[in-house]
Amino acid sequence: LYLTYNVLYATVQKIAHSIGSKEAFEVYRQIETSKNTPVHSLIKLSIDLQFNKSLNIQEILKLNQSFSNNIVCQRLMKQFIIQHIYMYPVGFKEKQQIAQLLKIPLKQQRWLELENKGSSLKLKKISS
């Protein structure tokens, strides 16, 4: 099961990275609307997070509701969002909203943030 999850995660991320672009975002929105499948929604979310570097709380709420009976898609969505929070600065208010919406504890988000700062410090020490 873990292997299958990792294959799904890597596939969606690879597709999003391969076809993603800020300029074509409206095309992805139209494809998601016309196809209306979980994988299209996950790819669009991944593209949005990777290329626009923004968290749309309303979109996340909509996806969370549509994935309520699909635990794999829900977990993939959470993983994409957690990775985004780890890689890019996200305001505390947004983190609270995400924590409440997706039931991701703020403690976990804070731990990721501190871990990220710690790795930055390690890199600075190595390069000095």
Q: What is the pLDDT of residue 73?
A: 93
Q: Tens of pLDDT along 29-87? A: 788 788 889 998 999 999 989 888 888 899 999 999 999 999 999 999 999 998 898 88
Whole-model pTM: value is: 0.77
Side-chain-facing half-sphere of 78: CA atoms under 13 Å: 20
109-115: list long-range contacts, CB under 8 Å, 24+ apart.
109/82, 109/85, 112/82, 112/85, 112/86, 113/85, 113/86, 115/86
Whether residue 75 contacts residue 64, with contact meaning beta carbons closer than 8 Å, is answered with: no
- CA–CA separation, 11 vs 13, rounded Å? 5
Q: Which two tokens stand for residue 18?
A: 């391969």
Q: What is the pLDDT of residue 116?
A: 58
